[in-house]
Structure 1
Amino acid sequence: MDSRVVASAAFVVLSGCMRRIKAHQVQKAKRKRRWWMTSLNRSRERYNVSIMIEDLIREPSGRLENFLRMSYTDFEFLLNEVGHMIGKKDTQLRRAISVKERFCVALRFFASGDSFVSLSYLFKFSPQTVSRCVFDVCDALISVLNHQIKMPRSSNEWKKIAIEFENRWNFPHCLGAIDGKHILIQSPMNSGSDFFNYKHTFSVVMMGLVDANYMFTYVDVGCQGRISDGGVFRNTVLGRKLEENRLMLPNDETLPNHTQTTFPYVFVADDAFALGPHLLKPFQGVYEAGSDERVFNYRLSRARRIVENAFGILASVFRVFRAPMLL
């Protein structure tokens, strides 16, 4: 037999064997799917969150606002703003989850702080789908609402805040209350003690500046929990601009009923912050009742508690801030 024929036959046999071996290895390596969709998730077609929302709208019990943590008008407004950013397309294999359901699962996570597994039973999604919905909605909300929190850009805008503080909280020349809030998190892997705070929990710090109406005018999130509020503030954009005098603050003026002495416009904070030309904190120590220092500390604390109240309102509405985020 011709050697070329033998070589060709051997090559054909060898190629066939290699293909069969490779196909067997691929089939063995690929894990067989146990199920396409669980029976619980398949029942979403019969009754889902969109249907539940419609039922709650028809029932004037207030449970809709409790479930969404906002009025239905606000819900529809935000849904229209972010809907085009979080929607998915249907495929030949399955229908996509509706935009309303994707938005609702994120709102429920904010409102309750439940784990993704717990929310998967309520919304009849897989935990992985719940995770993608939450992160997609967060990115969309940040993109759409980033203009809602903004600092004043002129001395006249700063003065409007100072006038409101004087009228409502009897503290003149106050441009806002500053404080930090520890957002509890699960300890990140290989992070050591970077996020371990003085309360013996793991957290990131949210630094906030609040006006006289409990409205945030500046927010910075993400600094490690082990750093003090004063250290966090120095590393924020607000702290650097204040140190470099780039905030367009009003010039020093006389206090009400005092025509001789000028006084700067200031931010109020607690003892964790460093005293500065435009940053005011209480006198340290204990003073007898009726003393000037005691009266000053009372007035300053009355103005400074606004930021504490704002954090409390935030955690009361969105209870994800009350327990560690398992992320």
Structure 2
Amino acid sequence: MLQQSDFIPSHFSGMRKISAEWSFLIFLWYIANTEPLRTLGDRFDVSVSSIFRVIHRVVEWLLSRLDEEIKWPEGNDAILVTSQKFEAKRGIKKCIGAIDCTHIAIRQPVDHPRDYCNRKRFFSIVLQGVVDADMKFTNIYCGEPGSLHDARVLRRSLLYDTAHIENIFPNETCIIGDSAYPSLPWLVPPFRDNGHLTAQQSEFNFLHSSTRMAVKRAFGYLKGRFRRLRFLELLDIQFIPKLITAACIMHNITIKENDENEFFVNDINDFVDNAADDNYEINLHVNRNRNEIIDRRMQMFCELFPE
């Protein structure tokens, strides 16, 4: 597909061209490892400038396939299959996605560095992702500085605007997220643990957490398979979100092709174990009737624990 695209030079003049296959292998090696470009150039016997051009070329091609590879479930059949897979996990009905954010560590930016310093005191860019039960991304939003809270990233994303304008959550379907997110008619967080939860509310939170673990594991697979995302030393702050998005597209392709890698299973488990401290509550102003907001979570609760 890359060979047939317009992203690989087809003219015959000048120096020897780098083939589509070689270009893709260079990109894969680059994003899967942490080697500097000079070492990468020696490995593939091409110049550093050529490595730079090839990586940008393949990233731009992958971005052109964004809508084909990262798809929101549309149509009754797709929505039904997605919700049934989530229900099979822990019994939560009408859930078509799990949402969360992860931080991609970067070097200190030249411009506005304080905006990119997150609460864990390292510089980062935020990746917001919604995944299905198979850990495939169905929606991503990337590029916000690390100082922003998950709920504010959601408010600035296209998903938030689309959910309030278009009917992308038909038949009372919804997505689930951790306690960092607000309670919305289409987004259900767990009950806030103030020390007075009932036994059933605690059980609901456990089932909720187990179900949304799909997104935590997806981030673990993403960073375990594409180790470059553990720390990006790129100077071009505009290119970083493009590279991250390309990695998310490749993540979906590898899952679609059932490509498993045993070498980073431990990395995934470590990522999930270390994600527990990311949940802290924030109040978010929402222009909707509060009874409507509360009822959506209570509806899910009553479905799990009927009287």
Superposition TM-score, scaled by structure 1 size: 0.66
Task: Give the secondary-structure state (helix, strand or coil) at the position aligned to 2:170.
Answer: coil
Name the residue aligned to 1:97.
18
Measure, in 2, the Cα distance between the counterparts of 1:295 and 1:133: 51
Name the residue aligned to 1:248.
168
**1:226 alignment partner AA:** S
Measure, in 1, the Cα distance between the counterparts of 2:30 and 2:188: 37
The gaps in structure 2 that reach 5 residues or longer are 236-307
C-alpha RMSD over aligned residues: 2.2
How much does 1:154 deviate? Answer: 3.7
Does residue 1:277 correspond to 2:185, yes or no?
yes
How much does 1:286 deviate? Answer: 5.9
Does residue 1:140 correspond to 2:61, yes or no?
yes
Instruction: Give the conservation status (yes or no) of the 8 Å contact 1:209–1:218.
Output: yes
Q: Structure 1 residue aligned with 2:206, among 291, 298, 308?
A: 298
Instruction: Give the conservation status (yes or no) of the 8 Å contact 1:288–1:294.
Output: no
Instruction: Give the conservation status (yes or no) of the 8 Å contact 2:104–2:124.
Output: yes
Question: In the superposition, relative to structure 1, how do residues 220 and 279 fare at CA in structure 2: closer, same or farther (>3 Å)?
Answer: same
**1:230 alignment partner AA:** A
Instruction: Give the conservation status (yes or no) of the 8 Å contact 1:287–1:294.
Output: no
Q: Structure 1 residue aligned with 2:47, among 80, 105, 126?
A: 126
Does residue 1:229 correspond to 2:139, yes or no?
no
Name the residue aligned to 1:314.
222
Task: Give the secondary-structure state (helix, strand or coil) at the position aligned to 1:200.
Answer: coil
How much does 1:112 deviate? Answer: 0.6
Name the residue aligned to 2:84.
163
Deviates more, 1:188-197 or 1:232-241: 188-197
Task: Give the secondary-structure state (helix, strand or coil) at the position aligned to 2:109.
Answer: coil
- Computing the radius of gyration from Cα coordinates, the structure with the larger value is 1
Percent of aligned pairs sharing the same letter: 30
Task: Give the secondary-structure state (helix, strand or coil) at the position aligned to 1:194.
Answer: helix
Instruction: Give the conservation status (yes or no) of the 8 Å contact 1:155–1:248.
Output: no
The gaps in structure 1 that reach 5 residues or longer are 1-77, 252-263
Name the residue aligned to 1:44.
none
Q: Structure 2 residue aligned with 1:87, among 9, 13, 22?
A: 9
Q: Structure 2 residue aligned with 1:151, among 68, 72, 94?
A: 72
Task: Give the secondary-structure state (helix, strand or coil) at the position aligned to 1:180.
Answer: strand
Instruction: Give the conservation status (yes or no) of the 8 Å contact 1:185–1:325.
Output: yes
Question: In the superposition, relative to structure 1, how do residues 188 and 159 fare at CA in structure 2: closer, same or farther (>3 Å)?
Answer: same
Superposition TM-score, scaled by structure 2 size: 0.70
Cα displacement string for residues 228-263 of structure 1 (whole angstroms, at most 9, x for unaligned residues): 111111111111122x25133223xxxxxxxxxxxx
Higher RCO (C-alpha under 8 Å, 6+ residues apart): 2
